[in-house]
Amino acid sequence: MRLILIGPMASGKSTVGRRLSKRLNLNFIDIDEEVEKSAGVSISWIFDVEGEEKFRERETKELVKSLNYDKCVISTGGGTVLSEKNRDILKKGTVIYLETSIQTQLERTINDKNRPLLKESNDREQTLRELKKIRDPLFNKCADITIKEAKNSHNEVVDEIVIKLGIKWKK
């Protein structure tokens, strides 16, 4: 079982991924964390010094490496779906799209200084809307399961994923 979480920034992919992996007793892989580990620097640094294109190359490399694991939950970055190669890689697992509103993204990123695509933005909401316009169709195209945002806790999102996967478990 390889579960791959996709969605926009601040959709909860890392938090939900960690909790889902614990619930199902699977390994957890956070692609952004793997990029930082292999590069030895932060994603913000990579964006600032090497640019987004180099970051995307590093992201793809880590996504490919994650395929070495069968029993895992993989949390991807918000822009992972931009690459056709990455979209093909995603087909090697069950893809779960965490759909998230612009409002929730704004609330969750209000004090976040580590989002390269928002750091230089004068209008965060407009930036998020532009990203959504480009990425949402790709998220929808890749998704096997879509979890629509509600005001649910991360644990409730995990519960909903487990139910949609048809896995029997006890609370």
pLDDT of the residue at 10: 86
Average pLDDT over residues 99-119: 78
Is the per-residue pLDDT at 2 higher than 80?
yes
pLDDT at 24 over 80: yes
Long-range Cβ pairs for the range 155-163 (8 Å, 24+) = 155/19, 157/12, 157/16, 157/98, 158/16, 158/19, 158/20, 158/23, 161/3, 161/16, 161/20, 161/96, 162/20, 162/23, 162/24
Comparing 2 with 170, which gets the higher pLDDT? Answer: 2
pLDDT score for 134? 93
* pLDDT of 73 over the 80 cut: yes
- DSSP summary character for residue 92: T
User: At residue 101, does pLDDT exceed 70?
Assistant: yes
Q: What is the 3-state secondary structure (H, E, C) of 7-64?
A: CCCCCCHHHHHHHHHHHHCCEEEEHHHHHHHHHCCCHHHHHHHHCHHHHHHHHHHHHH
Average pLDDT (87-103) is: 93
Cβ–Cβ < 8 Å for 167, 145: no
Q: What is the pTM of this model?
A: 0.90
pLDDT tens-digit map of 44-65? 899 889 988 999 999 999 999 9
